Amino acid sequence: MNAASDDRFTLVDGIAVARIEGRVSAQQVIGWVGETLAQARRARLDRVMLVLTGASGFPAPSLARRAEMIRGWAAAAGDAITMAIVCQAELIDPQRFGIRVATSLGLHANVFDREDAAMAWLRGTD
């Protein structure tokens, strides 16, 4: 699915899966994730896998940028959504700084470089 699509989700075993693909800016990805989480919340979807592996054109975010984007995503998701992000391994902070920020804000989230691992984690959150 591309960033302009309104039909964001495919349901897999009750888990909403959304994908962004193509060349996009960091700001577009950040906005897409926030909008997707808000849409999932409105649809009362409680587990969401956001797949970013098909997207390119943006660098790994700084720690400050990670904290900023996670704050926005936590506000969009509220405490109603468990979120897994799947992205390229080089975008994942080895210390999982963004996940620690998410936890401190009440957002149940994790990050993976493989879809199967993300799906297994989401299935285990029942």
Helix, strand, coil shares, percent, the chain, to 5: 40, 25, 30
Partners of residue 49 on adjacent β-strands: 17, 84
Instruction: Please tell me the total number of residues recorded for the chain in this structure.
Output: 126
Separation between Cα atoms, residue 36 and residue 42, nearest integer Å: 10
Q: pLDDT tens digits, residue range 8-38?
A: 789 998 999 999 999 999 999 999 999 999 9
Fold that domain 9-123 belongs to in CATH: Transcription Regulator spoIIAA (3.30.750)
5 vs 87 pLDDT, higher one? 87
Say if CB 78 and CB 40 are below 8 A apart: no
**Confidence band for 89, pLDDT divided at 50, 70 and 90:** very high
- Position 119 pLDDT exceeds 60: yes
